[in-house]
Amino acid sequence: MLTDAALAKYGQAVHKLHPLKEELQQDCEHDEGQQSLNDAAARMDKHPGAKAAPKAAGMTAREYLLFS
């Protein structure tokens, strides 16, 4: 749900993901494309830093991707 609380969590997650930007972009260049939201969340969960950022903000990877 798009709420102010969810926006605050999303902002925290984005802030925590920012230092990983280049590394995550390189990983995406080798990707053949996501087939679904669940596939994208599973891929995000495989990367320890990418999984930790939304979790620290109180979101799952799927929630983060859905909000974005």
pLDDT digits (tens, 9 = 90+) for 18-44: 888 777 766 565 566 657 899 889 988
Q: Are 17 and 37 within 8 A, CB to CB?
A: no
Q: Are 65 and 44 within 8 A, CB to CB?
A: yes
Domain that holds residue 20: 4-27+36-67
Whole-prediction pTM: 0.77
Q: For the chain, how many structural domains are there in total? A: 1
Instruction: Name the more confident of 8 and 28.
Output: 8
Which of 22, 61, 25 minimizes the C-alpha distance to 42? 61
